[in-house]
């Protein structure tokens, strides 16, 4: 690997392959197409960085399969754990949770996935990387540079877009939380309001507003509907990570999930 731009090309290729693996695996488990990925583009950078880490540290030509498997299992598991931990720290959100699987560590990594990563590392080092290297080395230097610059720009734009979406999602959840706290201070509403069944409670509020034309109820309904709009709700990320959990605003995130589910069901009903 002779240049930084070659590194970016390899990183993108393996990030794309990782995205394909995630989509196929999660779609089979969910029995529907799941457009997996933290970023909007068809890439999973954690796979790309994991692949490059394995390739750089293991010296593919000199390593045996058992060494590649065990070292790959360890390296990718550490990377997945750190990635999950950092996402929780920065965005107060848990993107995946393996707590219900045997032999897991704080729900961030589990033995089954780690074994799969180890197997993928063997395939990567012994089969994929030699073939991909052969193709990449055929690309003229000028196009390697141009492609690398274009990919860096695409990564930057996608990252900014995703971070903006996450900031908006967290702000939406915070406002929804504040709204529900205000509702609980209203004695009339407190009789039937149930935070654990947030969506049903808001549906009742909507019906009361329509039936009674009460000014307060109408105002509350309008505010709730503004907070429940699909736009800016992190719709893509919630679909990509259906088991996503909010550390601070779990009930509010569940409401958004319910709302998006109902919107999808309505859309299906029209076809």
Q: What confidence tens digit (pLDDT) does each residue in 149-207 have?
A: 999 999 999 999 888 888 888 888 888 888 777 777 766 666 666 666 666 677 776 67
Q: Using a pLDDT cut of 70, give the percent of the chain over it.
A: 77
Which of residues 36 and 111 earns the better pLDDT score? Answer: 111
Question: Pick from 96, 40, 50, 103: which is nearest to 74 by CA?
Answer: 50
Q: Over the Cα atoms of the chain, what is R_g?
A: 23
Predicted pLDDT at 36: 79
* Predicted model pTM: 0.81
Q: How far apart (Å, rounded) are the C-alpha atoms in residues 227 and 259?
A: 11
CB contact at 8 A, 43 and 37: yes
In the predicted structure, residue 249 carries a pLDDT above the cut 60: yes
Predicted pLDDT at 252: 80
Which band of pLDDT confidence, cut at 50, 70 and 90, is reported for residue 137?
A: very high
pLDDT in tens, 25-43: 888 877 777 777 788 889 9
């Amino acid at each position: 690997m002779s240049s930084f731009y070659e590194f970016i090309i390899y990183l993108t290729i393996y990030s794309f392959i990782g995205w394909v693996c995630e989509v196929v695996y999660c779609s089979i488990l969910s029995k529907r197409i799941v457009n997996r990925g933290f970023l909007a583009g068809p890439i999973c950078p954690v796979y790309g960085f994991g692949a490059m880490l394995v390739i750089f540290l293991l010296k593919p030509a000199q390593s045996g399969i058992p060494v590649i498997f065990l070292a790959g299992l360890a390296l990718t598991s550490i990377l997945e754990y750190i990635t999950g931990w950092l996402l929780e720290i920065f965005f107060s959100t848990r993107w995946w949770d393996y707590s219900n699987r045997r032999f897991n560590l704080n729900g961030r990594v589990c033995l089954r996935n780690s074994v799969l990563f180890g197997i993928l590392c063997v395939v990567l080092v012994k089969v994929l990387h030699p073939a991909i290297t052969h193709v990449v080395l055929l690309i003229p230097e000028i196009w390697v540079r141009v492609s690398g610059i274009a990919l860096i720009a695409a990564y930057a734009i996608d990252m900014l877009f995703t971070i903006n979406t996450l900031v908006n999602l967290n702000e939406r959840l915070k406002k929804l939380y504040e709204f529900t706290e205000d509702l609980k201070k209203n004695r009339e509403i407190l009789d039937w309001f149930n935070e654990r069944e947030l969506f049903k409670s808001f549906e009742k509020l909507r019906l009361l507003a329509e039936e009674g034309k009460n000014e307060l109820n109408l105002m509350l309904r309008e505010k709730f509907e503004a907070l429940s709009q699909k736009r800016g709700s992190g719709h893509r990320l919630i679909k990509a990570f259906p088991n996503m959990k909010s550390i601070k605003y779990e009930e509010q995130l569940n409401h958004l999930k319910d709302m998006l589910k109902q919107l999808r069901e309505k859309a299906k009903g029209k076809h």
